[in-house]
Structure 1
Amino acid sequence: MPRQADHDARRRQIAEAVWRLAARGGLEDVTLRQVAAEAGVSARLLQYYFGTRDRLLLGALEILNADAEARAAERLAGLGEAAGTRALVRGVLLEMLPLDEERRNRQVVYAAYFVRFLVEPALAAVAGAATPALEELVTGLIVRAQHTGEARGDLDAAGEAAYLLAGAEGLQSGVLLGQRDADRAVALIDRQLDRIFTATT
């Protein structure tokens, strides 16, 4: 009987095929047959792992989200234990920008999912859960910084977190479309962080 690791690897193989198709031309007309061909597996095997087209899109999105969270955690851990709260908030926001091929590819796939988010409740639920979780994380970091004196105490932490994340999301689109370069986007984020944080630790 195949090991769980083999099942996980096969699911990833299929999910990566969905991502490639999404990045090349969106998800509107993607079929199970196209995904199977892209993944190099039979349609029967694809259905064994995911069942319907909707479950396939949902499963591929969940794997993409798990990858994004794991990679973000790695990068934040790489800042070191001495990293200040500003650096942690900055790290979260920079995950939202296409600063390298990995992040750019992931964000293009998310963009391909966007229309599906608007019309498919199951996908919308997955997307909708991400924003509150990020807002709670950034809010908590800002509150912590206020308590330690790293951030201005007169600010509405939740409002600032929402504003920072919305700004990073808008900058993401601008960089993907070539409306501004990545260095300018990072500089704009740093400018907002300078407004919130009283120290650069």
Structure 2
Amino acid sequence: MPKLVDHEERRAHIVDALLRAAARDGLHAVTMRSVAVEADVSVRLVQYYFDTKERLLLATLERLAVRMGERVRDRVRAAGASTAPRDIVEAVLLEAVPTDEESRTFHLVYTEYAVLSVTDPALGGGSFLAGPAEMEDLLIAQLAAAQRAGDADPGLDARQEAVILLAVSAGLGLSVLLGQRAAGDAAAVLRYHLARIFTGGVKSGAATVR
């Protein structure tokens, strides 16, 4: 009896191969053939699942967005039983700091997508724009919840502060990718800024990244 093909598994295998190739050689160097070599499959098979390079790139971007959401949820759960707004905000922001091989690959490839999307309209919509917008909405909601609970400065503008926090975390993440500072130092800067927003001061172990 012939073995049944798991098409989703094959698609995921090809997408993961693109991520590895892009992290090693740069997204600009990725081709359908190089992805096929990395995945140890034929070019024809890659084209069967993704008929154009753009479709393959978009599928990979969607995978990155899903995985980032999973990592944020994992980080929130790792914080313990408390799901206070500050813990959730911190978890979201710290996910912008590359702390392991997977997150380094994510941020490196995602940054390259951002650059490519400036000149390639096909990469400028969908998940690429939805992800940051969802993060911004989440931060706004958590900041507002903290204000209602008396755990954050009541005078701050939650929407403006969310934009600032995301910009700061993205910049710090890039500085870690470039080797300008260590991940622990970037996390300490984020926690320092959060201590100015939330009551309770700077958390202990500020340089620890989970």
Answer yes or no: same fold by TM over 0.5: yes
Q: Letter of the aligned partner of 2:38 in structure 1? A: E
Q: Aligned-pair distance for 1:113? A: 1.9
Q: What one-letter code is carried by the residue in structure 1 that aligns with 2:106?
A: R
The residue aligned with 2:69 is 69
Percent of residue pairs bearing the same amino acid type: 44
- Supply the RMSD in Å over aligned alpha carbons: 1.7
AA aligned opposite 1:30: V
Question: In 2, are the aligned partners of 1:18 and 1:60 still within 8 Å (CA)?
Answer: yes
Structure 2's unaligned 5+ residue stretches are: 204-210
Q: CA deviation at 1:10?
A: 0.8
The aligned counterpart of 1:27 is: 27
- Offset of 1:79 from its aligned partner? 2.0
Task: Give the partner amino acid of 1:177.
Answer: L
Deviation readout 1:43-93 (Å, 9 max, x if unpaired)? 111111111111011111111211121122122122233232111110110
Residue of structure 1 in register with 2:167 after alignment: 166
Partner of 1:53: 53
Q: Is the 8 A contact 1:96 1:168 kept in 2?
A: yes
Aligned twin of 1:138 = 139
Counterpart in 2 of 1:42? 42
Structure 1 counterpart of 2:208: none
Quick check: 1:151–1:199 contact (8 Å CA) kept in 2?
no
Q: Could you say what secondary structure the match of 1:11 adopts?
A: helix
Q: Which residue is 2:152 aligned to?
A: 151
Distance in 2 (CA, whole Å) between partners of 1:179 and 1:39 is 33
Query: Distance in 1 between the 2:27 and 2:102 partners?
Result: 20
Letter in 1 for 2:181: R
- CA shift, 1:162, in A, is 0.6
**1:111-163 Cα shifts (integer Å, max 9, x gaps):** 23232221222321132222211111001000000000111111000111110
Q: Which residue of 2 aligns with 1:110?
A: 110
> Paired residue for 2:189?
188
Structure with higher helix content: 1
- Give the alignment's TM-score, normalised by structure 2: 0.89
Letter in 2 for 1:14: I
Give the superposition deviation at 1:107: 1.0
Aligned match of 1:123: 123
CA positional deviation for 1:29: 3.5
What is the identity, as a one-letter code, of the residue corresponding to 1:12?
A
Please give the per-residue CA displacement for 1:140-187, whole angstroms capped at 9, x wherever unaligned: 000000000111111000111110110000001111111111121111
TM-score (norm 1): 0.92
Larger displacement relative to structure 2 (124-133 or 46-55) = 124-133
**Residue 142 of structure 1 contacts residue 157 of structure 1 at CA under 8 Å; is this kept in 2?**
yes
2: CA distance, partners of 1:55 / 1:156: 39
After superposition, residues 4-23 of structure 1 pair within 5 angstroms as 6-23=6-23
